[in-house]
Amino acid sequence: MSTRLQSVRGFNDVLPPDTAIWQHVQNVAQRTFAAYGYGEVRLPLLEHTALFARSIGEVTDIVEKEMFSFQDREGDSLSLRPEGTAGCVRAGLEHGLLHNQQQRFWYSGPMFRHERPQAGRYRQFHQLGAEAYGMAGPDIDLEVIALSARLIRALGIEDVRLELNSLGTPEVRQQYRAKLIAFLQQHEAHLDEESKQRMHKNPLRVLDSKVAQTQAIVKDAPTMLDMLDLDSRAHFDGLCQGLSDLGIGYTLNPRLVRGLDYYSRTVFEWITDALGAQGTICAGGRYDGLVAQLGGSATPAVGWASGIERLILLMKAQGVTLPDAAPHAYLCALGEPSARALARLAEQWRDALPDLRLMSNAGGGKLAAQLKRADRSGAQLALILGEAELAEQRIQVKSLRSSDSPLQQQTLAWTELPALLAGLLHA
């Protein structure tokens, strides 16, 4: 008895017409990144496991529990990438792009984490990301946040909020870490089990707990903002002033820490209340120590990543008008001579109108059957070429979507079709 083949849990197919939405998001993102001078970098899916252990942190959930790792035939430990920043830094170092240089990159593609699949969170998921290197001031923090805000607006997404925090320098963070552990130890008996485990290994993640009882406790915890050094405070104030200058609203959230060890100073998230627990649609911050941590010279850096699945979920939830992937016209031919002539005409129309979507009937069939296929395709028009039309170099045009007259039909000369089809592109 054969077993029915199906996809691996958490690894999902994207089928038409959803692929049209993905292409739309990608196209909007590409235009937005280009508007700020960011160049695309395409990174491999597979990296050495040590890259992520050194960058993300060995005691993070991602490295300890969630990575897809294995040994190859040479005995090297390799991992499917769980995020894009580490690979971006590795590529910059490997190709000599970061030393005493300013770089602006963007990337997109699949990432992999062995998590419990749920809406908007899968084991293979997709991200868009922006990375900027070699610039230390709050102006570049402002730029990457403004870029993310423009992308969100361009996708038609509304009702999201920007939450902002600063984690200070590594030195301040270590001082804060000790102070936070001391606070948590006073309340250890009432913390959830996961927070008890994190308390000494990664205490800042306790601030990010989703357990109500733990959330109530950490409301009274000391905040990083109260411990910032003068330089970090000036940097953060400069960013806040820049956001106000650009009219980008924000909320200070002293509990915002992000889940990766490499963050310092600025951290931020774009949040929605429309997706339940998966409310973060874009997040990032500054990671000035990461390049040196991976073997390069000290290089300031800032960036963000956004989950494409969550963006699309939110667009659908908010009723954003999404692109139509249906053909503009469906081509019906009666008889072999008509089919051959219509195929030639279709290529001419595609040459003249590169954005035109035409679907040709295949497999023959009577006109009624072809029109059923035309209707199922979602096309706006059916173009019908029979023997009489072929002889006169004319074609029947039948409206399939007109609300005024579903049976509206006319016959036009072949030379009139380009203008008619061009009108569909701008309808």
What CA–CA distances, in Å, run from 70 to 74, 76, 77, 80, 82? 11, 8, 6, 9, 14
> So what's the pLDDT on residue 2?
63
- 159 and 234 part of one domain: yes
Do the Cβ atoms of 287 and 329 come closer than 8 Å? no
- 405 and 292 part of one domain: no
For residue 192, tell me if it sits in a domain.
Answer: no
List, in sequence order, the alpha helices (H) in 202-335: 212-218, 230-245, 290-293, 308-317
For residue 5, tell me if it sits in a domain.
Answer: no
- 242 and 285 part of one domain: yes
For residue 47, tell me if it sits in a domain.
Answer: yes
CATH number for the domain that contains residue 410: 3.40.50.800
pLDDT tens for each residue of 301-316 = 999 999 999 999 999 9
> So what's the pLDDT on residue 406?
44
List, in sequence order, the alpha helices (H) in 36-113: 49-55, 61, 85-94
> So what's the pLDDT on residue 298?
92
Do the Cβ atoms of 107 and 40 come closer than 8 Å? yes
Listed residues 291, 317, 343: the one ending a domain: 317
For residue 139, tell me if it sits in a domain.
Answer: yes
CATH number for the domain that contains residue 61: 3.30.930.10
- Binning pLDDT at 50, 70 and 90, where does residue 271 land? very high
pLDDT tens for each residue of 135-155 = 999 999 999 999 999 999 999
- 345 and 308 part of one domain: no
Q: What is the CA radius of gyration of the chain?
A: 27
- 312 and 360 part of one domain: no
pLDDT tens for each residue of 358-407 = 999 999 999 999 999 999 999 999 999 999 999 999 999 999 987 544 44
For residue 367, tell me if it sits in a domain.
Answer: yes
In the structure encoding, which two tokens stand for residue 211, read together?
Answer: 């357990």
Report, as an integer, the average pLDDT of 162-174. 89
Which residues are CB-contacts of 226 (< 8 A; sequence separation ≥ 6)?
none
- 155 and 276 part of one domain: yes
What integer best gives the mean pLDDT of the chain?
90
218-222, 346-350, 416-420: least confidently modelled range = 218-222
Residue of 172 and 298 predicted with greater confidence = 298
Provide the number of structural domains found in the chain: 2
pLDDT at position 90 over 80: yes
12-16, 161-165, 245-249: least confidently modelled range = 12-16
- 286 and 234 part of one domain: yes
For residue 187, tell me if it sits in a domain.
Answer: no
- 356 and 404 part of one domain: yes
pLDDT tens for each residue of 347-363 = 999 999 999 999 999 99
- 132 and 261 part of one domain: yes
What CA–CA distances, in Å, run from 109 to 103, 224, 262, 361? 20, 34, 22, 34
Listed residues 293, 317, 341: the one ending a domain: 317
Measured CA angle at 100 (ends 99, 102), to 5 deg? 100
How buried is 39 (Cβ within 10 angstroms: 0-12 exposed, 13-18 middle, 19+ buried)? exposed
For residue 53, tell me if it sits in a domain.
Answer: yes
Host domain of residue 50? 18-168+228-317
> So what's the pLDDT on residue 356?
95
> So what's the pLDDT on residue 405?
45
Residue of 252 and 404 predicted with greater confidence = 252
- Binning pLDDT at 50, 70 and 90, where does residue 225 land? confident
Report, as an integer, the average pLDDT of 236-265. 89
- 115 and 156 part of one domain: yes
- 243 and 350 part of one domain: no
> So what's the pLDDT on residue 62?
67
- 277 and 349 part of one domain: no
Query: Phi and psi for 5 in degrees, rounded to 5?
Result: -75, 140
pLDDT tens for each residue of 29-61 = 999 999 999 999 999 999 999 998 888 765 556
Measured CA angle at 264 (ends 260, 265), to 5 deg? 135
How far apart are the C-alpha atoms of 299 and 101, rounded to whole Å? 9
List, in sequence order, the alpha helices (H) in 277-406: 290-293, 308-317, 336-352, 367-377, 387-392
Which residues are CB-contacts of 194 (< 8 A; sequence separation ≥ 6)?
209, 211
For residue 209, tell me if it sits in a domain.
Answer: no
